[in-house]
């Protein structure tokens, strides 16, 4: 066989050297890997910088609409047929007809700045139910805050009275100031009685209470703004 070398036009007939083709494949593989890593870096950068911006924009733009969609009682404490600052506390059937005060939490959904906080306890009251008078259920509500300096009272079955643990004030089941033996009573007034919505009580069998916080340390009940 005649070996033809160096003649123009015969290059296509020759096989490329094996190490040269491997080198070319390595370069192509390296280029693909570089492209892959660059693409990954670009995507990661986009996620880190763009996603928080979109979330912030979404929150900023939609919060006013979300607030409008909330039922009224979520924002103002009112519900259909209920007055301002009235909160649903319990079904009437949940309160035994024995005149014994029982503690209930006032729970409400709140919008605080950008945050929606569902089912948040905002205070406590005592409810007691007497025998119905034949016309409507008899439910009485008292604020659980001691009017002296704001501690929370508890009802003592043994003493048959509300007792404050801070400075020994005591109150009867009717919320009146009383002097238990061995206890002084620095409270300037009786427990703060809260308004129960009689209409909701009679028609829906639900206890709705106008929950108002009053200033402590005063003889008169002055609502806080
Ligand atoms: S806070 Fe209740 S007695 Fe002082």
| Distance between Cα 175 and ligand 1 center (Å) | 14
* Contact call for residues 185 and 170 (beta carbons, < 8 A): yes
Q: What is the 166 CA–ligand 1 centroid distance (Å)?
A: 5
Which residues lie closer than 8 Å to 59 by C-beta, 6 or more apart? 114
- Determine the pLDDT at residue 71: 43
In sign, the C-alpha dihedral spanning 103, 109, 111, 114 is: positive
Q: Does any ligand 1 atom lie closer than 6 A to the CB of residue 216?
A: no
Query: What distance in Å separates the CA atoms of residue 48 and residue 1, rounded to the nearest whole number?
Result: 67
Instruction: Give the pLDDT of residue 97.
Output: 94
d(CA 79, CA 87): 8
What are the counts of helices (DSSP H) followed by strands (DSSP E) for the chain? 3, 10
- The CA–CA distances, whole Å, from 144 to 59, 94, 109, 147 equal 37, 19, 20, 9
Q: Is 200 helix (H, G, I), strand (E, B) or coil?
A: helix
- Residue 85's pLDDT is 85
Burial class, 9, CB count within 10 angstroms (exposed 0-12 / middle 13-18 / buried 19+)? exposed
pLDDT in tens, the chain (225 residues): 444 454 454 544 555 566 666 777 777 777 778 888 888 888 888 788 887 788 777 766 665 555 444 444 443 445 555 667 899 999 999 999 999 999 999 998 877 788 888 888 999 999 999 988 777 889 999 999 999 999 999 999 999 999 999 999 999 999 999 998 888 899 999 999 999 999 999 999 999 999 999 999 999 999 998
**Token pair for 5:** 């070398």
CB of 207 closer than 6 A to ligand 1? no
For ligand 1, what atom is nearest to the CA of residue 153? 2
Whether residue 169 has its Cβ less than 6 Å from ligand 1: yes
Residue closest via CA to ligand 1's atom 4 equals: 167
Cα first-last separation, the chain: 110
**Are 151 and 216 a contacting pair, CB within 8 Å?**
no
State if residue 144 touches ligand 1 by the CB under 6 angstroms criterion. no
- 166 CB within 6 A, ligand 1: yes
How far, in Å, from the CA of 170 to the mean position of ligand 1? 9
From ligand 1's centre to the CA of 149, what distance in Å? 5
Tell me what pLDDT residue 68 has.
Answer: 46
Ligand 1: atom nearest CA of 169 is 3
The atom number, within ligand 1, closest to the CA of 150 reads 1
ipTM attached to this prediction: 0.99
- Ligand 1 and 149: CB distance under 6 A: yes
Partners of residue 107 on adjacent β-strands: 121
């Amino acid at each position: 066989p005649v070996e033809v070398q160096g003649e123009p036009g015969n290059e296509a007939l020759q096989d490329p050297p094996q190490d040269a083709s491997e080198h070319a494949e390595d370069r192509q593989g390296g280029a693909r890997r570089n492209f892959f890593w660059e693409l990954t870096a670009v995507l990661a950068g986009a996620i880190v910088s763009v996603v928080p911006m979109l979330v912030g924009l979404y929150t900023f733009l939609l919060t006013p609409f979300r607030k409008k969609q909330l039922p009224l009682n979520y924002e103002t404490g009112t519900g259909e047929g209920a007055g301002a600052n009235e909160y649903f506390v319990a079904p009437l059937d949940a309160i035994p007809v024995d005149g014994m005060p029982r503690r209930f939490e006032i729970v409400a959904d709140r919008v605080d700045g950008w945050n929606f906080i569902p089912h948040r306890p905002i205070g406590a009251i005592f409810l007691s139910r007497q025998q119905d008078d034949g016309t409507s259920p008899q439910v009485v509500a008292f604020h659980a805050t001691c009017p002296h300096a704001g501690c929370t009272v508890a009802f003592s079955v043994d003493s048959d009275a509300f007792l404050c643990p801070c400075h020994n004030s005591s109150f009867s089941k009717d919320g009146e100031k009383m002097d238990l033996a061995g206890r002084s009573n620095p409270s300037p007034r009786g427990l703060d009685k809260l308004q129960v919505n009689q209409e909701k009580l009679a028609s829906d069998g639900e206890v709705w209470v106008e929950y108002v916080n009053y200033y402590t340390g005063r003889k008169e009940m002055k609502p806080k703004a």
